[in-house]
Structure 1
């Protein structure tokens, strides 16, 4: 029996000794959809050629610059989001990822804003309403991703899954959903299955990596087969994306990911824990 989910893998984090085009070919050959980050760092024509080879791209970063929390930053975010939509259309990408603020190439906020004030919340909701309207016009979905501030992304506002869910639910537009990253949520919040259940009406995608280390499922403390079983039982049948480093052989890492999110993998893991 196969997985009830669509499985995707970030080409930014596995097969890292290979050029990006070859990474993507390897991920595709193993039967996964492919996620990318900042499209401006890639040869888009080469990615289009890969699509013509049959590669399915699942998601990408949906802006280049900008932020949610003030008018100037919002205008910049919307302008670069529109540029990103044009690229997404060429690549057939349905989901474009957003963060609480613009990040640099180390994942750190360009403008740290660790405390989100009331006016910042109101500005963020206004900005996201504009983003959702863009998605509606262009036929794509923007997804707001939670991050952790303790390890990887200090200084990012609206970082928790609870914050992101509140913003997405407040906008209440099907073209703005939650990118629920369970690696970040485990570090920042925990209680992952209940978090998935609370977020279910607004879920655009679930991303995974284990804690600690940000490697594939089975390398840390998260019982991902139990999470997978719960997601299936609650009726989620969307995309699960591996945004993780390989702890060793990348092909083995990807197979561990596949196993964790298949019924057979869940049975084996839960039996081993009994």
Structure 2
């Protein structure tokens, strides 16, 4: 297999405690993605032996807001020890601050030049922080049609432009193809264009945000395009199981994910 496969423990096996979800994902040969790690037993997570591919990399502020960009960098720095303890490679950030359920804390529907400049400068500061500690910050694209209305500079072409402008190895793109399909489409050309700047690829099918094979995206074709382009990094399943939160449904979702990316 040419890809490293990871699974977001926040979205599958919901009937199990988090630590058991991590163990089950790990036991099936997948790496593990996490969201907010605050308040969680980091030592117990590390003791599972799982390889953690990514986690949330900030918990306050907005990359593109000059009044709160310092908060992004400060919160990112506070999360570095957790990332190092878990061996996390990528810390995920977003173009603006997300609240409960992914809702924009301060909805904005028009991007200004100042937002672009502030976003660039904040990412440059994260690049320095990442280089110092040996981690990468990954800027994730989002969709504003369904899940994250009011987040500026969230389209894949915008996040790619910001990451390209930074031009630093410790700032990459978390290319989320579920979000890109909802907002932009043309996924195969998108992965080809973004390839030099991709830190990780995340997937889920549309509609529903379930495992590959449950919706309209031809993930076998996407996998072939990634392989042909030379991508050999992490592909992460950030999706629920279409059969529900139970163990059998989760196992089936992981099997479908693995099958889609066997190229």
Q: TM-score range by the shorter chain?
A: over 0.9
In the other structure, the counterpart of 1:178 is 173
Contiguous gaps of at least 5 residues in structure 2: 244-248
Say which of 215, 218, 223 aligns to 2:218.
223
In the other structure, the counterpart of 2:11 is 13
Deviations 1:129-158 (A, max 9, x none): 101111111110000000001110111111
SS at match of 1:9: strand
Name the CA distance, whole Å, in 2 between partners of 1:68 and 1:113: 13
1:41: how far off? 4.4
In the other structure, the counterpart of 1:38 is 36
1:45: how far off? 2.5
Name the CA distance, whole Å, in 1 between partners of 2:177 and 2:227: 16
SS at match of 1:75: helix
1:71: how far off? 3.0
Q: 1:197 to 1:89 in 2, by over 3 A?
A: same
Aligned pairs for 1:163-242 (under 5 A) are 163-242=158-237
In the other structure, the counterpart of 1:252 is 252
Contiguous gaps of at least 5 residues in structure 1: 264-274
TM-score calculated relative to the size of structure 1: 0.92
Q: 1:84 to 1:57 in 2, by over 3 A?
A: same
In the other structure, the counterpart of 1:270 is none
In the other structure, the counterpart of 1:65 is 60
Aligned pairs for 1:35-184 (under 5 A) are 35-50=33-48, 54-184=49-179
1:91: how far off? 0.4
Deviations 1:38-92 (A, max 9, x none): 1114222321222xxx211110000011111233311100000001111100100
1:230: how far off? 0.7
Alignment RMSD (CA, Å): 0.9
1:115: how far off? 1.3
Larger RCO (alpha carbons 8 Å, 6+ apart)? 2
TM-score calculated relative to the size of structure 2: 0.96
